[in-house]
Structure 1
Amino acid sequence: MQNVASLFPPFAAGLARWRAAPLEMLFEDSVQLPSPLGRIGNLELRLASTGKDVKRAQRLRYRVFFEEMSATPSATARLTRRDKDSYDASCDHLIVVDHAPRLNAFGKLKTKPRVVGTYRLLRQEAAALAGGFYTAGEFDIAPLIAAHPGAKMLELGRSCVLSPYRDKRTVELLWHGIWAYVLAHGSDIMFGCASLEGIDPRAMALPLSYLHHYHLATGEWAARAVPGRRVPMDILPKDAVDPRAAMRALPPLIKGYLRLGAMVGDGAVVDHQFGTTDVLIVLPRAVISPRYIDYYGATANRHAA
């Protein structure tokens, strides 16, 4: 596999500054975006602007990935109760905040807003400082990047929503934020890992086979799972796949990507730490369905605050 970092220009001086800078400074190039980015009722969407904001997003990720789902935390994650890695400092983090007061376990009213949804965004120039994209650990995206030398790549990842908030409002706010971010930074191609829960690909033969036969990225958009980790997705022949049943078996996030026009890479990767089987999502901005652009607004104004 080609080293993705070799596709970026050298950033040695910038990397030294990044390592020395306080976390708040890492977000200064996103100030052209309004704050908040959007609002629906008591839910507010914005970009994390401080280290404290990022920590709150990491705590939400820990709660969803490690407490609710089957991910296995490291000793550090268990101690801090935060899902974090080396990429977080180079990313922008969309967060959905609920401002509604609520009762705690002791019946006391709590008015402090809480983070209930998050999405992690890593632009190509920021990935250069981080040593590459997180996705490259599972999928060989170097040919995809090399095939589009003038395009601006945006990695989407670490998305999660607190269980009581997994509804249309929260998801719409997050997609509204991604669209506003794409417009503000001129991103051309979005990609990232998306997960099906479980580590036995044969148990998810129907949805994986459907993705392979009906949504496989080819030509200039093609990318494969890395050697040694790749598991085949075409477990069933195409004539044995019921597309409607397969769509029902897919996680909502992947269904959402497909409705926008996304394609998937060749092969899946089993992530034993997170208890998931991952597929690569490739979503060129140019193929996004016009009805979705109309829905969120050509200037991302549907849920503007």
Structure 2
Amino acid sequence: MTLEIFEPRTEITPRMDSRISIQGRGEPVLGRIGTLETRLAANTREIEAAQAIRYRVFVEEMGAELPASAMRARLDIDAFDDICDHLIVIDRAIEGDTADQIVATYRLLRQEVADRHSGFYSASEFDVAPLIARHPGKKFLELGRSCVLPPYRTKRTVELLWQGNWAYALKHGLDVMFGCASFPGIFPEAHALALSFLHHNSLATGSWAVGAAGGHGRNMDLMPPEAVNARKALVSMPPLIKGYLRLGAMVGEGAVVDRAFGTTDVLVVLPIESISSRYVNYYGADAQRFAC
């Protein structure tokens, strides 16, 4: 998910010292279910532990190709990490300190922060600037780098991640969540059923329309509507994308192949006002559903 003036995967030294002044304090717990809890990473070591989780999932499990410096450090790291907040899920049943207990993570970038630096990560794949410009009164939040360790890919872990996102959005008065969501592999045709379902049923239109950047979009309209079995299409989708759809999300026009990460990406757009009332009630209108 960067503006053309900023290369997100350039070689950089894996140090996060600039985060200490921002995240050196303790962070409040945003949600808790059993031994699991979610909050923002509070210091450099916790951020690096989240980056190590991302490395395990993206590189060791999915085969992503990162810059040499990141591969040597065994951290999924890029320059956006310095300006983002890092949501983490912690399992207190694991021995060790908090950095040893991190089992899931999400990277959060607010519009006001992106505007002060080099824009949004997803702008390297999708033309998000016109979308944002059409909504000058709304504050956007980019969600990215979502990953969960295999033993924790359960409903309650996902609920905590969404509780964290929800609480964070309410705290900062944010109006729209968006970001890249991925299908495995670099051949969109392998996901013809799911991509066609998204194109015919969840395409962002009007003021929410957004397309791929730089002519890199791949056709998502791979099957006619009458050939798309909705149930089978939903079953074939990654859980993250299904979760977005349940909340009321839309997708942009065209998929983008990310060869470095070995994925086919779609842009998800979720205005908070569009989130189903039953989910607002479930997570808590005041973000307290899982906070105690």
Q: Please confirm whether the aligned pair reaches a TM-score higher than 0.5, indicating the same fold.
A: yes
Q: How many residue pairs end up in the alignment?
A: 278
Q: CA RMSD for the aligned pairs?
A: 1.8
Superposition deviation, residue 34 in structure 1: 6.0
Q: Which residue is 1:124 aligned to? A: 111
Q: Percent identity?
A: 58
Residues 77 and 200 of structure 1: CA distance in aligned 2, closer, same or farther (over 3 Å): same
Superposition deviation, residue 130 in structure 1: 2.7
Q: Does 1:99 align with 2:92?
A: yes
Please say which structure displays the higher CA radius of gyration.
1
Superposition deviation, residue 238 in structure 1: 1.1
* Partner-residue secondary structure (3-state), 1:199: coil
Q: Which residue is 1:75 aligned to? A: 68
**Which residue identity lines up with residue 52 of structure 2 in the other structure?**
R
Name the CA distance, whole Å, in 2 between partners of 1:4 and 1:272.
Answer: 17
* Partner-residue secondary structure (3-state), 2:70: helix
Residues 34 and 53 of structure 1: CA distance in aligned 2, closer, same or farther (over 3 Å): closer
Q: Which residue is 2:58 aligned to? A: 65
Q: Does 1:139 align with 2:126?
A: yes
Name the CA distance, whole Å, in 2 between partners of 1:69 and 1:128.
Answer: 31
**Which residue identity lines up with residue 256 of structure 1 in the other structure?**
G
1:88 to 81, 99, 108: 81
Structure 1 runs not aligned, ≥5 long:
6-19, 102-109
Q: Which residue is 1:165 aligned to? A: 152
Q: Does 1:24 align with 2:20?
A: yes
* Partner-residue secondary structure (3-state), 2:86: strand
Provide Cα deviations, 1:252-299, integer angstroms capped at 9, x if missing partner: 000000000000000000000101000000000110000000001111
Given that 1:90 and 1:129 are in contact with CA atoms closer than 8 Å, whether structure 2 keeps it comes out as no
Residues 155 and 48 of structure 1: CA distance in aligned 2, closer, same or farther (over 3 Å): same
**Which residue identity lines up with residue 97 of structure 1 in the other structure?**
I
Q: Which residue is 1:35 aligned to? A: 28
Name the CA distance, whole Å, in 2 between partners of 1:156 and 1:26.
Answer: 19
Residues 21 and 81 of structure 1: CA distance in aligned 2, closer, same or farther (over 3 Å): closer
Structure 2 runs not aligned, ≥5 long:
6-15
1:196 to 166, 169, 183: 183
Name the CA distance, whole Å, in 2 between partners of 1:226 and 1:55.
Answer: 31
**Which residue identity lines up with residue 112 of structure 2 in the other structure?**
E
Query: Could you state the TM-score of these two structures normalised by the residue count of structure 2?
Result: 0.91
